[in-house]
Amino acid sequence: MLFTCAGLTLAACGGGPAAIAATHTPAPTSTPRATPLPTVGTPVPFGSADKPYQVVILPPTGSDTSPKALNDYLNNRTGQVFKVTLAASEDEALNSVCSSVPTFAWLDSWTLLAAQAKGCGVSSKVILPGSNLIL
């Protein structure tokens, strides 16, 4: 045991630290100057004259409704530009809702379910027929 302790002590204390060379001082470098970035065109926002919001209404069969009154009302009250159109069929309304243009639509429940199944429709208000409930 004495030899083991002596051996460990000599191994732990033996030799001393090795000489470590000093690190070199970094050379001064110049600070890079900013370069001007190219100008990027601002995209035209929705609700402007060039990109109006789309409103699609699926009127009841046999209706002779004109979208002009709603179009004028929305444009005057919001300060945004809307394009109100009447859809001739559920399929046309579904294609409008699933287009790349943000679309507000009044749809029947089956068309809304089809839009949600395609991942392009979100219900914000549901009016229950025969009641005054709006969910």
Q: Which residues are CB-neighbours of 104 under 8 A, at least 6 positions away?
A: 53, 54, 55, 56
Residue 83 host element (H or E): strand 82-86
- Pick the residue with more confidence: 63 or 71? 71
CA separation for the pair 121, 51 (Å, rounded): 20
User: What is the predicted pLDDT for the residue at 16?
Assistant: 59
pLDDT at 4: 77
Per-residue pLDDT for 19 more than 60? yes
Between residues 1 and 118, which one has the greater pLDDT?
Answer: 118
Cα 11 to chain centroid distance, Å, stands at 65
Query: CB of 76 within 8 A of CB of 69?
Result: no
**β-pair partners for 105:** 56
| Close Cβ partners of 128 (under 8 Å, ≥ 6 residues apart) | 134, 135
pTM above 0.85, yes or no: no
d(CA 82, CA 104): 10
* Rounded mean pLDDT, 46-60: 88
For 96-135, what is each residue's pLDDT tens digit?
889 888 888 888 888 888 988 998 877 776 666 666 555 4
Does residue 37 surpass a pLDDT of 70? yes
